[in-house]
Structure 1
Amino acid sequence: MVGLLVLLFPLLLMAFMLIMERIEKPLTRGATERQVEEFLDHANPDELDTFVREGTDSALSRFRARLRLPGGQRRDRNR
């Protein structure tokens, strides 16, 4: 049993490291200057409020989601 553990531990550790690298990569990627400039030019008040409260990443994700919707309208405006 110990021999099996000795053989499997390095493989499991390597697999864990590869998975963590894939998780970490999007977190370390920052917004480019062009993306922030475009956001500030075209953002609505809700998105600017999110930018102030939560930071660049949350605000840009809301902005991109709004741009992907048909007609450029956000879904929660109909409430």
Structure 2
Amino acid sequence: MTAWLSVLVPLLVMFFALGMERVESRLREATVRQEELDELLEQPRPDEVRALFRQGTSRALELFRLRSRGAGTRRAARRSKVSP
């Protein structure tokens, strides 16, 4: 019986560690960068504040990223129109 426990316990610990590593990697991907959150809180739009209040940080950041991405494409379009 002791021999089974001495084999089973390390295996269980190893599988638990592997499972926690997968959970940690998913959490690492879902984290928010501090700069992004600071920028959202410095210059919020009404729809982003509403989303932050009602649905949480993830939806507000999604709206912020859409706004930022749209502003970046608009800037690039302006530059291409201005430059010959």
Query: Given the two structures, how large is their TM-score scaled by the length of structure 2?
Result: 0.47
Report which structure shows greater RCO (CA 8 Å, sep ≥6).
1
